Structure 1
């Protein structure tokens, strides 16, 4: 009898735990759905079901079943992608871009690394995907890297960006390439969730948080690396701030400016007492040392020879400030520069290709 009573109590405990978990999931889902309905991303149908207000008009059934959408569905389900973006039609990527992608694939072998490219054609079949991969032989061995076309209007659908995008005149924008990139990173993280990285960020060890922002300096917030889950309210606020305060002619206003304005609203002055992160807007807020151990006025140090190499033991990744690189500095093999050491350690396939071809991949 005592044995049966123990079994009954055990079953009741398990049932109670399952009930609590299911209730928590339902409440969280309702919280997210309510927020999406409020923002017009989701609307209620006549029978009360939630329906996503996505752009489907231009999609055929074949397109819907394409390899591209299969990949996106897998990434969306996991919400843990690592994303890079190319907003020009360029296909011959510089070595720094290839190194950034390779380093991420090495540091995050169990996560999909997705490179959205405006110049890439549709990925409908497996063969289309294979052809896209073959274009970048140094990345072929990494099975977690995916190449996908960047379709701006489709990406911006059901976000605050679509009306802005249809209204803005690219011919009158002096920073259009960068402004597009700023918008894309927000829309991608909003829809898919995961980590966004600029293509001049070399990963050196895993970021221990999935929900994070990063300080660029002690007074500004970075737009080069950040991570949030899909449909996070903070990402929506970034997008609204982008559109409501849009000044395209002002460099950085739509990137780090957006992050800094929103972070200031929630957190005011951020005070680090150590290298450890602090909490801001209910996410982790990283010390500048984590991604910017070399600040932008000293960006050329990456292309210099150091008598003693830095360990970067407090950093998760390194931002190489490519937008400052007007002199077109690049990694040159056998020069013993800091950037050569970084390539050799964190993107060896890219490094070996340059070394063997005697090229610099400008």
Structure 2
């Protein structure tokens, strides 16, 4: 086994040397060096310890093995990507459910979770203080990575913008930052991006797509694109050229809408629902936004879930993922476990580990 793994490393080294010679430019050479570094990160743990799992995605910290080798960023293998632009290190149950559901339904795809405050070592974040990180890192295809906007935006149109922008003067900074990060992630690595309030209900296939939020209007909570796609490049340029941080969604859903209209050469995106437009599919709202944001509270209405009734399952049978509209929830306290709500059904069915970790709220005694 050890001899076979050593041979694999030698073979990869030879391939790398060949790539160097056929690279036409210095930039391409740097790219190949970076790719080879990632490949080594994937294989060195296996060579160092023959008894460890062969899964590339399972290099997790455990009590027996606290040495944790992680990719510095995704490889060119497309994955499902989530990000948290705030400094929060304790993901909410909704964030955990979104990531777990995607990982569970797509076991052969890497699921990346970028955290702005994460230092890059899972072994540093243990229970009970970091219960969320511990749970997510235990899932074999979930990879938690540090989010460095400066590094991510390098060699993109967002680099100059990020250097000049003053977050303290930005009204919607965390949202704007997240809008930029998802575009840069798709541009550099490709794959599928999902907001951390989208609970997956079905496996996802890789394709170039946007999704309708409402009539003639797109959203950016669920996106899929090949690496270096020209549509994403258009969006990155427009993000900077027409930047307006004071207008909610201007760098997000509104940008997606105006860029898709430009791409398709139309003012009426409804004509392209569930159709291919120059290599991009514009999915109808039922794919990710089956409940519009003004009705977000419907997910949390109590006593809507009967365990002996398949009404909820039938209603969302054509939905790939439900966007819960976390922004609309704000600071409201919402009950999940024990509420018999639609959201409790989703948690129990699609993210059972997260659901199990949620304590059951005790009912307050009635005042006499």
Which TM-score applies when normalising by structure 1? 0.76
Query: What residue number does 1:81 align with?
Result: 79
Deviation at 1:193, TM superposition (A): 0.8
What SS does structure 1 have at the residue aligned with 2:218?
coil
Number of paired residues? 300
1:138 and 1:353 in contact (8 A); partners too = no
Deviates more, 1:207-216 or 1:311-320: 207-216
- 1:324-352: CA deviations, max 9, x gaps? 11352434311111111110001110111
Compute the RMSD of aligned alpha carbons: 2.9
Query: What residue number does 1:266 align with?
Result: 263
Deviation at 1:213, TM superposition (A): 1.1
Cα distance, 1:48–1:266 mapped onto 2, change above 3 Å: closer
Structure 1 residues 221-300: aligned runs within 5 Å = 221-267=218-264, 268=266, 269-271=268-270, 277-300=274-297
- Give the whole-Å Cα distance in 1 for the aligned partners of 2:72 and 2:218: 29
1:263 and 1:280 in contact (8 A); partners too = no
Cα distance, 1:65–1:162 mapped onto 2, change above 3 Å: farther
Query: What residue number does 1:91 align with?
Result: 89
Mapped pair 1:334 → 2:338: yes
- Give the whole-Å Cα distance in 2 for the aligned partners of 1:321 and 1:133: 29
- Give the whole-Å Cα distance in 2 for the aligned partners of 1:214 and 1:338: 22
What SS does structure 2 have at the residue aligned with 1:205?
coil
Structure 1 residues 298-313: aligned runs within 5 Å = 298-305=295-302, 306=304, 308-309=311-312, 311=314, 312-313=316-317
Cα distance, 1:250–1:355 mapped onto 2, change above 3 Å: same
Cα distance, 1:315–1:234 mapped onto 2, change above 3 Å: same
Give unmatched runs, 5+ long, in structure 2. Answer: 1-22, 43-67, 306-310, 364-368
Cα distance, 1:328–1:146 mapped onto 2, change above 3 Å: same
Deviates more, 1:156-165 or 1:232-241: 232-241
Query: What residue number does 2:154 align with?
Result: 157
Deviates more, 1:264-273 or 1:296-305: 264-273
- 1:240-269: CA deviations, max 9, x gaps? 111111000000000011100101112221
- Give the whole-Å Cα distance in 1 for the aligned partners of 2:185 and 2:218: 19
What SS does structure 1 have at the residue aligned with 2:281?
strand
1:160 and 1:243 in contact (8 A); partners too = yes
Cα distance, 1:245–1:208 mapped onto 2, change above 3 Å: same
Cα distance, 1:54–1:154 mapped onto 2, change above 3 Å: farther
- Give the whole-Å Cα distance in 1 for the aligned partners of 2:76 and 2:158: 23
Query: What residue number does 1:51 align with?
Result: 27
- 1:133-176: CA deviations, max 9, x gaps? 76333324411011111111100000000000001111110100
